[in-house]
Amino acid sequence: VAAWVVINTTITADQTTAPDGVATSADSVLETVANDTHAIRKDYTVGAGSYIFSCFVKSIGGRNFQLVTQELGGGGSGGGTVRFNLSTGTVASGTGTIREIGDGWYRVSGTAVTAGASGIRVIAYSLDGAAPTFTGDVTKGFYMWGMQVEAAPIATSYIPTTTAQVTRNKDDI
C-alpha cells in the first residue's frame, strides 16, 4: 500500500506478518490527529465492466474499516460503500463480503461497475465505530495487505503482483 495516496494517515511498509505467513510484509496505516477522515486511496485503470476489489485487513487499536469504490469519469453505476466491523467480523452496512482468515485478519471485498475505460478509485478508511470523521489517534488504524482488482463476480484466491497484470490457472470454486 506504500504507493497509495494518504489522507490524514501514515503508511509504514512491512510492519507485521501478512496472512500468507511471510514475516513483516503487511503495511500499517495509522491515523493522524486531524479531526477529519483517515484513509488511503488508489486509482486503477480498467475498461468497461464489473470489478471486484478485495484485500486483507486487520484492526489496529480496535478500529473498523470501510472500503469505497468510485468510477472515475462517471457513466456507469459506479461503486459503493461497504463498512466492516473488525471486532465482530461482519459487514456493518453496504454490499460486500468479509471472511475471517485467522490471527485477527479478514479478507474483505466490494464491487464497482464502469461504463468506460476511465478507471476506478478505491478508498480504504479507518473508522471509529461507524464514524468516518473523527479526531484520529496515531496509535490506531489498520494493517492492509494483498489488494487486488479483478473481473467480477467473485474474488479469487490471492494473486501476488506488483506492477503488471498476471494470468494464472483458474480457481476451483
CA distances (Å), origin 15, targets 26, 29, 57, 137, 147: 6, 10, 13, 18, 16
pLDDT tens, per residue, the chain with 173 residues: 668 999 999 999 999 999 988 878 999 999 999 999 999 999 888 888 888 899 999 999 999 999 988 887 765 556 788 999 999 999 999 989 999 999 999 999 988 888 776 788 899 999 999 989 999 999 999 999 999 888 776 777 676 655 556 565 665 55
Cell of 44: 486503477
CA distances (Å), origin 33, targets 8, 124, 160: 8, 18, 33
Burial 112-135, CB ≥16 within 10 A → b, else e: bbbeeebbbbbbbbbbbeeebebe
Residue with cell 470454486: 173
